[in-house]
Amino acid sequence: MKRYTINSLESHKDILCNLFQAKRITDSVLELADGIISFYSLDFGIEAIVFDIDQHSSQQKVMIEFGKSYDVQYVLTLYHQNIEIGNDDSAVLKLHSQKSLTIMHSQYGYIVDVSKTQKVSHITFLIKYEAVKNLSLYGVLSVLDDLKLLYVDNLLDLPSLRSILSNRKSYTTELQPWISDSLLRSIFFISLEYIVRRSKTNLRSRVYDPSGNLLDRMLEIQNDICDLSQSRWSLDHLASKYRMSPMSLKKHFKAYFGRSPMKYYQDYRLQYARSMLLSSDYSLQDIAYRCGFSDLPHFSREFKKKYGVSPRDYIEKL
């Protein structure tokens, strides 16, 4: 496996150019055949990297490490795809979910399987401890002091912000950079909110996992539940597939994700439906079908129960 060590922001750009066969258009934009990678310096000392790649593939699996000379202590990444977090070529956590975030100490690195990559839409924040300290975010600092690696699932607020950020090219006036900066600020601080919340109930400390692979199995189950293209799943089917008892699966899933598999599924498909209402041109009937509802009235009832308005009224208020 080829290894890249990032020692500065400039070398970070060079390595991404090499990995994605990109070329520098400006100091902050790398251009690919089917997308761009954008760098943003937020004014409180955090760097953001936004990947908007429609399709990319090459026969590479690489290890990306953060060198000691790179003034970055923590790396926050959202919307992962075909990424593993590891140390010395060994994967600690496999991430194939675009519905989550991780924050890790820079002693870890990323193992990226570019050969499997098609659409790339993740966002990476490079965090300096001093920058967070200067913001007087003491609750966040108390989390970072002990943090090595933290996984957070179920990003309720962030998908809609990501959709808006993806459409930032449609903003054509001089306000466009300000809009992008404001969206990234919001995504960053909302991410920190999730991280602080989750750290207060650190899951690894209260889930008995002698095999060390329970989180990986829970992530696979989560992906199965969120795959709205497949036929309706059942708890018994998942338990049989992953060789667990239904009671054990339900207990561990709730410990990791805060709700039962069924409640998670119900919440997820409504969140996904809301995201489609915000960012797609599908009809309400199509959205209902794509989100696993048997008919439009059922979808409308469940949507109104969760969000207080019908899907049609929700669109009209946008």
Domains of the chain: 2-200 (2.60.120.10), 209-316 (1.10.10.60)
Alpha-carbon radius of gyration of the chain: 20
User: Which among 74, 67, 204, 187 is positioned nearest to 127, based on CA atoms?
Assistant: 74
215/19: higher pLDDT: 19
Phi, psi of 305 (to 5 degrees): -60, -35
Please, what is the average pLDDT of the chain? 82
pLDDT at 148: 81
pLDDT at 88: 63
pTM: 0.64
DSSP run (H or E) holding 171: none
- Res 212 pLDDT > 80: no
Query: Please, which residues bridge with residue 102 across strands?
Result: 77, 151
- Res 216 pLDDT > 80: no
Mean pLDDT lowest for which of 107-116, 171-180, 198-207, 291-300?
198-207
pLDDT at 203: 46
Of the chain, the percentage scoring pLDDT greater than 90 comes to 29
Rounded CA gap, 102 and 145, in Å? Answer: 16
Q: Do the beta carbons of residue 175 and residue 182 sit within 8 Å?
A: no
- Res 314 pLDDT > 70: yes
Per-residue pLDDT, averaged over 265-274, amounts to: 86
- 2-6 vs 61-66, strand pairing mode: parallel
